[in-house]
Structure 1
Amino acid sequence: MPINPHPLPHPVLRSIPREQHVISRRDISPNALRVLYRLREGGFGAYLVGGAVRDLLLGLHPKDFDVATDATPEQVKSLFRNCRLIGRRFRLAHVVYGREIIEVATFRANSDDGSGDRELEDGRLVRDNVYGTIEDDAIRRDFTCNALYYAIEDFSVRDYVGGYEDVQARVMRLIGDPETRYREDPVRMLRAVRLAAKLEFTIEPATAAPIPLLAPLLGEAAPARLFEEMLKLFLSGHAVASFEHLEAHGLLGALLPETAAALRSNRSGALRRMLVQGLANTDARVAADEPVSPAFLFALLLWPAYCRALAGLQAQGMHAEEAQRRAADRVTLHQVQTIALPKRFSLPMQEIWLLQQRFSSRQRKRVFRLLANPRFRAAFDFLVLRLAASDSHAADVEFWRQAQLSSGDELSANLEAAGAAGDGEGDDAPTRRRRRRRRRPATASAE
Structure 2
Amino acid sequence: MNPTTRNEARLALRIITREQHTISRKNISKAALRVLYRLNDAGYNAYLVGGAVRDLLLGGHPKDFDVATNATPDDVKKLFRNCRLIGRRFRLAHVVYGNEIIEVATFRGASEDDGEGDRHIVDGRIVRDNVWGTIEEDALRRDFRVNAMYYDISDFSVRDYVGGMHDLQDHALHLIGDPATRYREDPVRMLRAVRLAAKLDFRIDPSASAPFAELGPLLSGVAPARLFDESLKMFLAGHGLKSFRLLEQCGLLKFMFPATARALKRGDSALRSLIESGLENTDGRVAEGKSVTPAFLFAVLLWGEVRDLAHTWVTHGKDAGDAWARAATHVVAEQCQRVAIPRRFTITMEEIWSLQPRFEQIQRKKVFRLLAHPRFRAAFDFLLLRAAESTAIGDLGQWWAHAQQLPHETLADALPLHQTTATGELEPVRAGAPRKRKRRRKSTTGKSGTA
C-alpha separation in 2, matches of 1:234 and 1:137:
30
CA deviations 1:117-145 (Å, max 9, x no partner) are 11111110111111000001000000000
Code of the residue aligned with 1:124 in structure 2: it is R
In the alignment, does 2:18 pair up with 1:18?
yes
Deviation of 1:211 after TM superposition, in Å, equals: 1.0
Which residue of 2 is the match for residue 206 of structure 1? 207
Q: Which residues of 2 match residues 3-402 of structure 1 at below 5 A? A: 10-11=8-9, 12-112=12-112, 113-115=114-116, 117-266=118-267, 268-402=268-402
Summarize the Cα distance change of 1:116–1:133 in structure 2 as closer, same or farther, 3 Å threshold: closer
1:377 Cα deviation after fit: 0.6
Aligned identity (percent) is 60
What does the per-residue CA deviation read over 1:126-173, in whole Å, with 9 as the maximum and x for residues that have no partner?
111110000010000000000000011111110111111111111111
RMSD of Structure 2 on Structure 1 (CA)? 2.0
Query: Which string of whole-angstrom CA distances, capped at 9 and with x for unpartnered residues, describes residues 317-357 of structure 1?
Result: 43322221111111011111111111100011011001000
- Greater mean deviation of Cα atoms: 104-113 or 240-249: 104-113
Question: Larger C-alpha radius of gyration, 1 or 2?
Answer: 2
> Deviations 1:182-208 (Å, cap 9, x if unpaired)?
000000000000010000011011001
Q: Residue 405 of structure 1: SS of its match in structure 2?
A: coil
Alignment-mate amino acid for residue 276 of structure 1: E
Give the AA of the match of 1:117.
Answer: D
Which AA in structure 2 matches 1:203? I
Checking the alignment, whether the CA contact within 8 Å between 1:8 and 1:176 is kept in structure 2 is no
Report the CA distance between 1:361 and its aligned residue: 1.0
Paired residues of 2:187 and 2:218 also in contact (CA < 8 A): yes
Report deviation, 1:408: 2.0
Does the alignment pair 1:421 with 2:415?
Answer: no
Distance 1:390 1:213, change over 3 A: farther
Q: Which has the higher helix share?
A: 1
Distance 1:6 1:409 in 2: 81
TM-score w.r.t. length of structure 2? 0.90
Aligned-partner SS, 1:337 = helix
CA contact (8 A) 1:9 1:139 kept: no
Secondary structure of the equivalent of 1:411?
helix
Q: CA deviation at 1:407?
A: 2.5
Q: Number of residue pairs matched?
A: 420
Q: Which residue of 2 aligns with 1:436?
A: none
Query: Which residue identity does 1:164 align to in structure 2?
Result: M
Matched residue SS, 2:96: strand
CA contact (8 A) 1:253 1:259 kept: yes
Distance 2:392 2:116 in 1: 66
Q: Kindly state the Cα deviation for residue 422 of structure 1 after the two structures are TM-superposed.
A: 4.1
1:316, CA displacement in angstroms?
Answer: 3.4
Distance 1:6 1:213, change over 3 A: farther
Q: CA deviation at 1:251?
A: 0.5
Inter-partner Cα distance in structure 1 for 2:65 and 2:190: 23
Shift of 1:6: 11
Partner Cα distance (2:168, 2:205) in 1: 12
Shift of 1:228: 0.5
Displacement of 1:402 in angstroms is 2.3
* 1:392 CA displacement: 2.2
State how far apart, in whole Å, the 2-side matches of 1:111 and 1:97 are: 34
Q: TM-score, normalised by structure 1?
A: 0.90
Deviation at 1:214, TM superposition (A): 0.9
Tell me, yes or no, if the aligned pair for 1:144 and 1:172 is still in contact at 8 Å.
yes
Aligned-partner Cα distance in 1 for 2:79–2:190: 37
Letter of the 1:344 counterpart: R
SS at match of 1:105: strand
SS in structure 1 at match of 2:251: coil
From the superposition, tell whether residues 98 and 285 of structure 1 become closer, same or farther in structure 2 (CA, over 3 Å): same
Letter paired with 1:49: V
Q: How far off is 1:38 after superposition?
A: 0.7
Q: Please tell me whether the aligned partners of residues 6 and 177 of structure 1 are also in contact (alpha carbons under 8 angstroms).
A: no
Deviation at 1:362, TM superposition (A): 1.5
Give the Cα separation in 2 of the matches to 1:6 and 1:310: 59
Where does the alignment leave 5 or more consecutive residues of structure 1 unmatched?
Answer: 430-447
Give the conservation status (yes or no) of the 8 Å contact 2:6–2:136: no
